[in-house]
Amino acid sequence: MAYTNIRFEVEDGVAVVTIDRPTALNALNSATLKELASAVDKIAKDKKIRAAVLTGGGAKAFVAGADISEMVNFNPLKATAFATLGQGVLSAIENCPKPIIAAVNGFALGGGTEIAMACDFIYAAANAKFGQPEIKLGIIPGFGGTQRLPRLVGKAMAKELVVTGDMIDANEALRIGLVNKVLPLEELLNAAKATAKKIAGYSQCAVQAALDCINKGPDVDLPDALYLERQAFAILCSTKDQKEGMKAFLAKRPPQFKDR
């Protein structure tokens, strides 16, 4: 698929996906969402890609939100289709077997906060701003904001952010647990890529199992979640990577993982 709204690059096993609509502050329209869906599918299926970073083009915005110019004349049928598309893409990001790190380099409002939350974790530039301002437009988040936000920051904080539409800065996002790290803008992308490359060097069998357990565990009760973990742990002990990792540790040498 040829991309017009995003850029897709791969270096040392790490894909960097850049949402690049400078005239719209990288806002998400249907065409951009479809391109993102294609990029995530490629990340999931390409064995040469072991981790990914998602960021925005320019220094002002990660994703300023969904594209209001497309949404302004929505009826309920079109709104349902748009929300279904957006939720599907974000679910694909969330459930991708390869880790995807959000590198938030500016405004992440509405759909911007939602797409960042769908990633495995978030690094933010010091100038980043987060918020769910949909209430100011007479609507609510439609790409999962009412569901992922309370899972990350708690129900009370999520309710406050959603029903006030207030914007918070990167340090407040760090304080409430929305982001993992705040960095100077000029260091952001390199820091996210460095973390992705570190993860890319580990056994992908183990990385995928860890992500799967963490994603699925909160949706079941603790005994069932522990069963998921126990089964994954046991299956990994049948892999050549587990044998290599432990033998390398005992021999005090770097492991050579083969993802099998």
Catalytic residues: 114, 134
DSSP string spanning 11-46? ETTEEEEEE--GGGTT-B-HHHHHHHHHHHHHHHH-
**Residue 23: CA atoms inside 13 Å, Cβ hemisphere, count?**
3
Q: How far is CA 240 from CA 200, 228, 247, in A?
A: 17, 21, 11
Residue pair 52/100 in contact by the 8 Å Cβ criterion = yes
Distance of alpha carbon 247 from alpha carbon 260, whole angstroms: 15
3-state secondary structure of 213: helix
Distances 125 to 18, 186, 187, 244 between C-alpha atoms, Å: 15, 8, 8, 37
Least Cα distance to 99 among 4, 35, 180 occurs for 180
The half-sphere exposure of 246 on its side-chain side, counting CA atoms within 13 A, is: 7
Tally DSSP H helices, then E strands, for the chain.
11, 10
Sign of CA dihedral 81, 82, 85, 87: negative
Place of tokens 């391109």: 35
- In the block, residue with structure tokens 């294609």: 38
